[in-house]
C-alpha cells in the first residue's frame, strides 16, 4: 500500500500547486510599498496572449530586463501638502509618469509633469479604484478627484469570472489655462489560471490572468486659444497576478490598433542589467513635405527602427489609418486637415503632426 499512498500524496501535492487562487484587496499595493519591476523589449519578447485557458503553464523565464524602475506608493499629503486639501486622506498612489510629452507639437502652452494616480481601497475594500489625479501643470500643483472613479478591479478575482464593466470621468480645471479631461470605458475579466515562471519567480507559482480592455480619450482645452486637442487610447492589459506580490508577476499591454505589445513589465528584484540606458522618451519625427503634397509624405524614422507601426489620428482623436514599416505614407484618401502620427517601435515611441 505504501507506493500507492505515496503516489496519492504526489498527485495531491501537484493539484495543490496548480490550484486556482483568488485575488483580493489584500493582494493590492499598500502605503509605503516600493515595488520594483523590470521592462523587457516588447518587440522581441514573443508573448502569445492568446495562450489562455485553465491549468496553464506559462514559462517566461527567458525574459531579459532592459531597464528597471520602482513604483513607490505614497499618501497625497506626503507627495504635496496641497494635494491633501482635495484628495481623501485614505487615498494613496504612485507616480504614473514623469511628464506628458508631445504637447509642444500642437503649439499648446502647457507642460504637465510629476503625474500621480491615487487609489482608494479603505473606503471600499470590494474594489480597487483610481479616485484622484495630481500633477504639476505649468509649474502649479493641481489635484483633482474623479467625477466617476476608474474601477480597475472588483473583488474577489477568481476564475471563472463574470466580466465587469465601468465608465470613468476625470475633469481637471486649470486656472488661467482651461481644463484637462479624461473619459473612458473599462471591461475586465479573469480569462485564465495556472502557474507562471519569470526571472523573479524562478519556480512555478500559482496565478490568475486578468484581462482589462480600455477605451479612453484624453483632451486638453486651452480657453484663451479656443483650442481642444484630444488623444485616443485603446489598449488591453493582460496581468498575471499572484497572491501577496502587490505587483503583477507579468504585465503586458497590447495596442488595439496594431495588435502588438507596447510594453512588457514584470515584478523583479534589483539586478545588474545587460543593457543600460536603452529607454528613450517620446521623440519628434521629421516629415516632408509637410504640408503634404499629392497625398504622399516621407517620415524620417530612425535607421535602427526596423519593425515599427504608425497610427494616424484626426483632430477629434479618432484613429483614421494605420501603416506597418512604411516610411512613405499615402494619405490621399484622407480629408484635408491636421493629423497626429504616432510611431511605435517596441518600447520606443515617436510623433509628428501632419497637415494635408
Q: Do the beta carbons of residue 134 and residue 154 sit within 8 Å?
A: no
Q: What is the mean pLDDT of the chain?
A: 86
Q: Which range scores top for mean pLDDT: 194-208, 260-274, 294-308? A: 194-208
pLDDT beyond 60 at 213: yes
Q: What is the dihedral sign for C-alpha 318, 324, 325, 330?
A: negative
Are 202 and 61 in contact, with CB atoms under 8 Å apart?
yes
Q: Is the pLDDT of residue 261 over 60?
A: yes
Question: For 286-298, what is each residue's pLDDT tens digit?
Answer: 899 989 998 999 9
Residue 259 predicted with pLDDT over 50: yes
Q: Which pLDDT belongs to residue 107?
A: 66
345 contacts 308 by C-beta, under 8 angstroms: yes
Return the closest-CA partner of residue 139 out of 176, 106, 102, 105: 176
- Is the predicted pLDDT of residue 102 greater than 80, yes or no? no
> pLDDT over 90 for what percent of the chain?
53
- pLDDT of residue 210 exceeding 50, the answer is yes
The mean pLDDT value for 179-196 works out to: 95
Q: How far is CA 195 from the centre of its chain?
A: 23
| Burial class of residue 269 in the structure, from the number of CB atoms within 10 Å of its CB (0-12 exposed, 13-18 middle, 19+ buried) | exposed
* pLDDT exceeds cutoff 50 at 218: yes
Q: Does residue 334 carry a pLDDT above 50?
A: yes
Query: How much is the CA Rg of the chain, to the nearest whole Å?
Result: 22
pLDDT higher than 90, residue 17? no
Work out the pLDDT band at 111, boundaries 50, 70, 90.
Answer: confident
Domain boundaries, the chain: 14-267, 283-355
The pLDDT tens digits of the residues spanning 64-85 come to 888 999 999 999 999 999 999 9
pLDDT for 195 beyond 70: yes
User: Tell me, what's the pLDDT at 72?
Assistant: 94
Binning pLDDT at 50, 70 and 90, where does residue 315 land? low
Compute the distance between CA of residue 2 and CA of residue 4 in angstroms, rounded to an integer.
5
Cα–Cα nearest to 341, from 332, 319, 107:
319
- Look up the CATH number of domain 283-355: 2.60.40.10
> Using alpha carbons only, what angle is made at residue 188 by residues 209 and 238, rounded to the nearest 5 degrees?
40
Long-range contacts of the stretch 334-341 (C-beta < 8 A, 24+): 334/295, 338/314, 339/312, 339/313, 339/314, 339/315, 340/105, 340/231, 340/312, 340/313, 341/285, 341/287, 341/299, 341/310, 341/311, 341/312
Question: For residue range 85-96, what is the model confidence (pLDDT) as tens digits?
Answer: 999 888 999 999
DSSP 106: G
| Residue whose C-alpha cell reads 493629423 in the numeric block | 339
Q: What's the confidence (pLDDT) of residue 135?
A: 94
> Of 103-107, 250-254, 320-324, which has the strongest mean pLDDT?
250-254
pLDDT band per the 50, 70, 90 thresholds, residue 319: confident
Q: What is the dihedral of CA 154, 159, 163, 169, to 10 degrees?
A: 30
Whole-number pLDDT of residue 281: 56
pLDDT digits (tens, 9 = 90+) for 7-16: 333 433 344 3
- The pLDDT of 127-138, averaged and rounded, is 94
Query: pLDDT band for position 275 (50/70/90)?
Result: very low
Please say if the pLDDT value at position 355 is more than 90.
Answer: no
The answer on pLDDT for 317 being more than 90 is no
Does the pLDDT at position 4 exceed 80? no
- The pLDDT, as a whole number, for residue 298 is 92
Amino acid at each position: 500500500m505504501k507506493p500507492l499512498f505515496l503516489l496519492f500524496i504526489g498527485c495531491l501535492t501537484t493539484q495543490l500547486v496548480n490550484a486556482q487562487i483568488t485575488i483580493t484587496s489584500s493582494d493590492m499595493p499598500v502605503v509605503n510599498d516600493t515595488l520594483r519591476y523590470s521592462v523587457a523589449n516588447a518587440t522581441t519578447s514573443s508573448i502569445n496572449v492568446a495562450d489562455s485557458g485553465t491549468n496553464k503553464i506559462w514559462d517566461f523565464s527567458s525574459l531579459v530586463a532592459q531597464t528597471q524602475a520602482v513604483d513607490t506608493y505614497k499618501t497625497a499629503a506626503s507627495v504635496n501638502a496641497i494635494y491633501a486639501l482635495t484628495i481623501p486622506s485614505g487615498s494613496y498612489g504612485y507616480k504614473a509618469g514623469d511628464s506628458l510629452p508631445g504637447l509642444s507639437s500642437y503649439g499648446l502652452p502647457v507642460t504637465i509633469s510629476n503625474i500621480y494616480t491615487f487609489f482608494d481601497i479603505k473606503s471600499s475594500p470590494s474594489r480597487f479604484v483610481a479616485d484622484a489625479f495630481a500633477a504639476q501643470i505649468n509649474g502649479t500643483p493641481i489635484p483633482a478627484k474623479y467625477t466617476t472613479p476608474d474601477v480597475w478591479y472588483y473583488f474577489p478575482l477568481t476564475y471563472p469570472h463574470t466580466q465587469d464593466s465601468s465608465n470613468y470621468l476625470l475633469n481637471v480645471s486649470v486656472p488661467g489655462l482651461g481644463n484637462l479631461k479624461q473619459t473612458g470605458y473599462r471591461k475586465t475579466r479573469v480569462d485564465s489560471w495556472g502557474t507562471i515562471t519569470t526571472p523573479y519567480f524562478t519556480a512555478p507559482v500559482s496565478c490568475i490572468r486578468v484581462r482589462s480592455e480600455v477605451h479612453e480619450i484624453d483632451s486638453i482645452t486651452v480657453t484663451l486659444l479656443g483650442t481642444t486637442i484630444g488623444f485616443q487610447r485603446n489598449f488591453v492589459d493582460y496581468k498575471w497576478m499572484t497572491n501577496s506580490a502587490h505587483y503583477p508577476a507579468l504585465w503586458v499591454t497590447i495596442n488595439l490598433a496594431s495588435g502588438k505589445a507596447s510594453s512588457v513589465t514584470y515584478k523583479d528584484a534589483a539586478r545588474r542589467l545587460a543593457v543600460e540606458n536603452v529607454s528613450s522618451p517620446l521623440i519628434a519625427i521629421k516629415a516632408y513635405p509637410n504640408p503634404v503634397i499629392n497625398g504622399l509624405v516621407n517620415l524620417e524614422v530612425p535607421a535602427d527602427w526596423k519593425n515599427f507601426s504608425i497610427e494616424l489620428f484626426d483632430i477629434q482623436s479618432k484613429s483614421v489609418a494605420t501603416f506597418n514599416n512604411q516610411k512613405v505614407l499615402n494619405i490621399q484618401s484622407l480629408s484635408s486637415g491636421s493629423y497626429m502620427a504616432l510611431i511605435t517601435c517596441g518600447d520606443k515611441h515617436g510623433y509628428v503632426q501632419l497637415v494635408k
